[in-house]
Each structure stands twice: as C-alpha cells, then as structure tokens.
C-alpha cells in the first residue's frame, strides 16, 4: 500500500527543530513551537540499522489502521512552503509501530540520552516541551520506523504543479495514494525493467542516509525472546545460546547444529536477503565444517510469498543449501 502525507516545515532536513514553519493557529506546531516530525531524519540516531520517527498522518487513525492489519507501506512526504507544496521524500517499507514497539523504542531513546537531547533542542527554539508525547495530541513520540537506505529523496525545489492531486490536501492525514503516475521522480527512483545505463549512476551530495546502527532494535529483542520460548519447548534437552560468535541463536542437539538469524523486517524478501549471507558466513567461513549436520534458519515476522518459497526451494534443492525460513511474530501480532 502506498500513501501520501504532509510533514511540518523544517530548515534542517528534519534533523532537529528550527521553528521555521508557518502553521495555522490550531496546529500542534503553532501552539508548541515545533513538531514531533522534526527529528525524522536524524540519521545518527539509529537502533540496529533502523531509523525511528514520527508522522502525524500515522498518528491519526492509528488504532483502527493496526486493527485492519495495515502495518507497513510506502509513504510519500510533502510539506507546505511559501513557494508551494514541496515533495520531500519517499520512504519505502515504512513500518507503523504498535504501542509496545513505540514504548520500547522511546525507552531506548531515553537510555541513550536522545530524548533529553530532544527536550534541549525544543528549549533552544523556545518551544513548549510539555507537548512532546502528550496524549492529547500524540500518545507516542515515535510511531514509525524504516531503514535509511529505503529513503528516496526528491531533488530540492520539487514542487507540485497545477493540477497535481496533492494541491487539494491540507491536513496531516495518511492518504491512500491512487495517482502514482503523476508523482515526480525521486533521486533514487527504481526503474521496473532494471535496464542498465552507459554512464555511472549520479552521485547526489545534498542528502545522506547515514550509517547502520550497531545495536539491536527493540523488535529484534522481542523476536529473540519469542523464539527462545518456542525453542525451549521444541528442544527441551538441547543447548540454546544467544549471540555466540555474532549468531542470534544457536541450538545444539546430539545430531545437529541449528543457526538462527533474526530479521524484524516485514518484507520477507529482505529477511532472506539479509539473513542468508550471514548464515552462510557464520556456518562455513571462519571454522572447519561442523561434524554435526547444520541447519540454517532465517527468522522473520511474516509469511513467505509464493515467490519467496520458490526462491528458497531453488536454493535448497538446486544448490543443496540447508536453508529454512521460520516465522516468529511479536507478542502484539499473535
């Protein structure tokens, strides 16, 4: 599902509050001097390679959206400027957090001092920090997460032209996108045919996505805990170890060694892409092959698609790799 939503104005590329937007009197921004979205692209604040942030459009209708199973999608962001409606970025595979995820992510922010830094930056623009996370406006400081590499930027000064459907939207709402063809191209637009090109790709220097985080995300920890409970039942007499030699979970039985690599992405294709290389390296690169039979298990949150199953079947049958996929959901998804 693809959506369109407005974000507040900002002069720092949404890294910290700048009090540079002109908003209507009845908005949170006008009353408090900042918006919850102003840290959306603070890329040095990553947890396990994930960027956490807030979108007001997600905040509205949040509970009903999760109840319908709408947990992820692509979101196109635009903002209002004196020159008109400006397209900012497109974020692919963005995940809408449930309450447990939002609370866990904010706890992480507080432990690392990031939340205190947010409060300091609100003070720096003479904002009213009592509104941050105030349930009257927004019950959660963080309600989305995405991988920085999934951000596709629109070139600077990409404004909606006359007749563009975005011209009719004013409020901070998550609007289902049904006019894809009318959108301008992002810097990182993905071409369906994937045809090559004669010249090297353009290296745009005005935006950066930052590096990957080194810590595990809260979702990763939740999945490990849920997997542990399942494995204790399946392998009651076996040795279950976490984070040994960088492997998320290792189960050793009398006859086999099972390596589990956990990825909390909603996209199973990405889970397989990220996990398989790591599993192969963990199993075969560093040490002599194990005397026990080896099983390599990629762990994700969603079911395999038919394409995923066909791909995995090819790897196991044609290449004779001992690969498997296992679904482990967060407690709130059970």
One CATH from 3.30.200, 3.40.1350, 1.10.30, 1.10.260 for 218-333: 3.40.1350
pLDDT at position 216: 82
Residue ranges of the chain that CATH labels 3.40.1350: 218-333
pLDDT at position 188: 58
DSSP output for 133-177:
T-TTT-S-S--EEE-GGGEEEPPTT-BPPTT-GGGG--S---EE-
pLDDT at position 86: 95
- Vertex 213 angle, CA 73 and 325, to 5°: 55
Other Cβ atoms within 10 Å of 266 Cβ, number: 17
Adjacent-strand bridge partners of 325: 298
Question: How many residues appear in the chain?
Answer: 334
C-alpha span between 8 and 271 (Å, rounded) = 33
Mean pLDDT by 10 residues, the chain (334 residues): 92 94 83 95 95 92 70 93 94 94 94 97 95 86 96 94 86 82 73 46 41 68 94 94 90 95 94 95 82 94 95 95 96 78
Looking at residue 333, the DSSP 8-state letter turns out to be G
DSSP output for 200-261:
PPP---S----PPPSSPPHHHHHHHHHHHHHHHHH-TTSEEEEEETTEEEEEE-SSEEEEEE
pLDDT at position 62: 66
Other Cβ atoms within 10 Å of 25 Cβ, number: 6
Could you tell me the sign of the dihedral formed by the alpha carbons of 275, 281, 284, 287, in that order?
negative
């Amino acid at each position: 599902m693809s959506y369109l939503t407005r974000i507040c104005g900002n002069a720092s590329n949404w890294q910290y509050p700048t009090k540079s937007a002109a908003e209507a009197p009845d908005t949170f921004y006008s009353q408090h001097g900042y918006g919850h979205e102003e840290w959306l692209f603070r890329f040095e604040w990553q947890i396990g390679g994930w960027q956490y942030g807030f979108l007001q459009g997600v905040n509205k209708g949040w509970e009903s959206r999760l109840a319908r199973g709408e947990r992820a999608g692509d979101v196109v962001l635009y903002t209002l400027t004196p020159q008109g409606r400006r397209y900012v970025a497109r974020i692919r595979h963005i995940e809408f957090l449930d309450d447990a995820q939002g609370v866990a992510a904010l706890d992480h922010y507080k432990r690392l001092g990031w939340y205190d830094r947010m409060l300091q930056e609100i003070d720096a623009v003479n904002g009213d920090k009592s509104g941050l996370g105030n349930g009257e406006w927004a019950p959660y400081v963080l309600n989305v997460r995405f991988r920085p590499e999934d951000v596709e930027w629109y070139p600077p000064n990409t404004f909606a032209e006359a007749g563009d459907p975005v011209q009719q939207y004013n409020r901070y709402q998550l609007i289902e996108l049904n006019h894809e063809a009318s959108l301008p191209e992002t810097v990182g637009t993905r071409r369906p045919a994937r045809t090559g090109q004669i010249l090297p790709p353009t290296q745009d220097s005005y935006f950066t996505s930052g590096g990957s985080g080194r810590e595990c995300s809260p979702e990763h920890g939740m999945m490990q805990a849920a997997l542990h409970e399942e494995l204790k039942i399946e392998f009651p007499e076996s040795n279950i170890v976490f984070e040994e030699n960088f492997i998320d979970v290792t189960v050793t039985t009398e006859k086999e060694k099972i390596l589990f690599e956990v990825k909390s992405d909603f996209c199973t294709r990405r889970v397989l892409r990220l996990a398989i290389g790591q599993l192969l390296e963990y199993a075969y690169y560093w040490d002599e092959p194990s005397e026990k039979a080896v099983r390599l298990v990629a762990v994700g949150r969603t079911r395999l698609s038919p394409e995923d199953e066909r791909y995995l079947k090819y790897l196991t049958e044609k290449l004779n790799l001992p690969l498997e996929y296992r679904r482990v959901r967060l407690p709130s998804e059970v």
